[in-house]
A and B are shown apart, each in its own frame.
Chain A
Amino acid sequence: QKEVEQDPGPLSVPEGAIVSLNCTYSNSAFQYFMWYRQYSRKGPELLMYTYSSGNKEDGRFTAQVDKSSKYISLFIRDSQPSDSATYLCAMSGLQGAQKLVFGQGTRLTINP
């Protein structure tokens, strides 16, 4: 079993739709939960991070963490064609290990 599981998609939705991206994880010791956006042939860029459980909102993006279920989500409202990218969840905070553990990434396409 992978430490972090993410449906690779691809996911294709019409412009304006609400997009839901999810990851599950197995290690309850993770403390920080991040969402990165990666455009083709570019490095990942941090979209949002959440510490422990809870919700966080930033414009059209909302991140949710449910540590009891080991489940995290990213919601994109009013999706735009420019949101088309691969979205990677990542986790960190394991004691003694300063590294990120990534999900597989979900390839998202927003159709005009």
Chain B
Amino acid sequence: GAVVSQHPSWVICKSGTSVKIECRSLDFQATTMFWYRQFPKQSLMLMATSNEGSKATYEQGVEKDKFLINHASLTLSTLTVTSAHPEDSSFYICSARVPGQGDYGYTFGSGTRLTVV
């Protein structure tokens, strides 16, 4: 099946530093990837949609300059949390559209738990 590999699975960083999270599609080409944020006991909140080779589309209220998304190839998308602060601590999950599976074909990475201290 279509697999998305997400790294790291957890990261601790100091306030003010930047953190990069990677998502790779292992056995398919991901034209479109999605980045979500999830707070404890809450649902997934879509942050942005990225298409290979073009700028990401951010959801309302998401700071573009804080959450930098790059989708430079058909198998790799990255999310960089810049100048991280404790309130950015959360669980970040990427997802990709699986070719040929229509509007139900979304596969998810295993998530990254970010803790900013």
Contact = CB atoms under 8 A, between A and B. Distances in A.
A41 interface: yes
A81 interface: no
A100 B106 contact: yes
Main secondary structure of the interface of B (DSSP, over half): strand
A43 B110 contact: yes
Contacts of A105: 42-43
B44 A92 contact: no
A2 B104 CA distance: 21
A14 interface: no
Given A98-B49, A99-B46, A105-B43, A43 B111 contact: yes
Interface in B1-47: 4, 6, 32, 34, 41-44, 46
Interface of A: 6, 8, 31-32, 34, 36, 41-46, 49, 51, 88, 92-93, 98-100, 102-105, 107
